[in-house]
Amino acid sequence: MQVSAKLRHCRGYSLGVPKLDVDLDVKNVSNQLLNVLHVIAEVRAAASLQTFDYRKSTYFVGHALLESGGGQLNPGHESSWTMSISLTPYQLQKIEEIRASGDLCLTMRFMCNAAEFDTADLTKLLRFCAVEVGAPGFSSNYCPFKIAQSDWMKILQELGYGDYFLIEVPLRRVRGGKQMAKALEHLSRAWEHYEHGNDRETLASCYSAFEFIAKQAKCKNPDQNAFEKLLGTVESSDTRDKLKFLMDYICRFLQLGRHVQGHELAHVEHKDSEFGLILSQAALAYLAKSTDHETPKS
């Protein structure tokens, strides 16, 4: 170890992409004068400091960059580094799953480059070198820093966590998904249309997804009859009836994106395509789970 690092403070910023700043007290424990040129750290999360195989028992969060500090480190002297990492709502949600309402351990593996100078002649460059950064009391190059639960709760507020609610819909992980594969292609195309601002095409592609699975159930259109068959594995008849009416009405709304001969095109706004896409995503996820193991009743 040439440099030791200890956690001093953490804080969050929520303007733009949320950013976590980690302030470290660093000390040059070598006998050489180091001029730090570049620092980056691989950041992982764990629920405890009692983690030994960091690559397998921690969750990779991202990379932290040196935002301030660096420069000259005299032998035996201390300085400070501020490492910054951007954290999307998805990453924060994963961290919360790992933390499980307890303390948080952020583990950093530093990649640090420096120029080493002769202490007797500060103008004499000895070499460029990779600097080993470690935490006091730990022999590994992985440096674990514990953040208490109470402190992390304040940081979460600073990061704006909770402003966005994320829903994971594992459509692409459905087993035996041949029945849903084409429908998911239509859904994927709907997302592409939505991202490009093509609102009418977004709704039309969502409708095509339901239309495809309706035909899989030997029905011409995605209507109540089709959903009655597709929801055949739902045990409660009351639940099944309500679902088939709901999904039928979703498809009626999605028809706003289709051109029907003899009718004027409906005016579709971005909020309409967003609403239809979210409803379609949720409904197709439900149908995917309902048809995972059994084919619809004919």
**pLDDT above 70 coverage of the chain, percent:** 88
The predicted structure's pLDDT at residue 265:
83
pLDDT tens per residue, range 280-293: 999 998 888 877 65
- Write the DSSP assignment of 33-98 as a string of letters: EEEEEEEEEEEEEES-S----HHHHSEEEEEEEEEE--EEE-TT-EEEEEEEEE--HHHHHHHHHH
**Taking residues 236-245, what's their average pLDDT?**
95
| Integer Cα distance of 72 and 221 in angstroms | 71
- Write the DSSP assignment of 196-240 as a string of letters: TT-HHHHHHHHHHHHHHHHHHTT-SSSSHHHHHHHTTT-S-HHHH
**Taking residues 105-130, what's their average pLDDT?**
90
Are the C-beta atoms of residues 230 and 291 closer than 8 Å to each other?
yes
pLDDT tens per residue, range 241-275: 999 999 999 999 999 998 766 677 889 999 999 99
In this structure, are 149 and 181 located in the same domain?
A: no
| Sign of the C-alpha dihedral computed for residues 28, 31, 33 and 36 taken in this order | negative
In this structure, are 211 and 84 located in the same domain?
A: no
In this structure, are 152 and 206 located in the same domain?
A: no
**pLDDT above 90 coverage of the chain, percent:** 56
In this structure, are 32 and 114 located in the same domain?
A: yes
* Domain annotation covers residue 298: no
* Domain annotation covers residue 125: yes
* Domain annotation covers residue 38: yes
* Domain annotation covers residue 166: no
**Taking residues 46-56, what's their average pLDDT?**
73
pLDDT bin (cut points 50, 70, 90) of residue 49 is: confident
The predicted structure's pLDDT at residue 176:
42
pLDDT tens per residue, range 127-158: 999 999 999 888 777 899 999 999 999 999 99
* Per-residue pLDDT at 29 exceeds 70: yes
The predicted structure's pLDDT at residue 239:
95
pLDDT tens per residue, range 188-229: 899 999 988 999 999 999 999 999 999 988 999 999 999 999
For residues 58 and 114, the model is more confident at: 114
Q: Go through the chain and tell me how many residues it has.
A: 298
For residues 164 and 60, the model is more confident at: 60
In this structure, are 155 and 56 located in the same domain?
A: yes
Please state, in angstroms and as integers, the Cα–Cα distance from residue 114 to each residue in 24, 27, 42, 121, following that order. 18, 14, 18, 17
Q: Count Cβ atoms below 10 Å from residue 118 Cβ, excluding itself.
A: 12
| Integer Cα distance of 173 and 169 in angstroms | 9
**Taking residues 26-42, what's their average pLDDT?**
92
Please state, in angstroms and as integers, the Cα–Cα distance from residue 37 to each residue in 3, 108, 112, 116, 167, following that order. 14, 18, 8, 10, 41
| Integer Cα distance of 208 and 294 in angstroms | 22
The predicted structure's pLDDT at residue 211:
95
| Mean pLDDT estimate for the chain | 87
**Taking residues 41-53, what's their average pLDDT?**
82
Number of domains making up the chain: 2
Strand, coil or helix: what is 157?
helix
> Domain with 179 in it: what CATH number?
1.20.120
Boundary of a domain, candidates 159, 193, 228: 159
* Domain annotation covers residue 148: yes
Q: Classify each residue of 37-66 as buried b or exposed e, where b means 16 or more C-beta atoms within 10 Å of its C-beta.
A: eebbbbbbbbbeeebeebeeebbebbebeb
Q: What are phi and psi of 36, to 5 degrees?
A: -70, 125
The predicted structure's pLDDT at residue 173:
47
pLDDT tens per residue, range 155-176: 999 998 876 555 555 554 444 4
In this structure, are 92 and 190 located in the same domain?
A: no
Beta bridge partner(s), residue 85: 20
Q: Measuring CA to CA, which residue among 217, 178, 182 is closest to residue 298?
A: 217
The predicted structure's pLDDT at residue 272:
95
The predicted structure's pLDDT at residue 122:
78
* Domain annotation covers residue 196: yes
The predicted structure's pLDDT at residue 140:
72
The predicted structure's pLDDT at residue 16:
87
The predicted structure's pLDDT at residue 127:
92
Instruction: Identify the weakest region by mean pLDDT among 121-125, 238-242, 254-258.
Output: 121-125
Tell me the residue range of the domain where 205 lies. 171-290
Residue with the two structure tokens 């935002």: 67
Parallel, antiparallel, or unpaired: how do β-strands 3-13 and 133-134 relate?
A: parallel
In this structure, are 140 and 81 located in the same domain?
A: yes
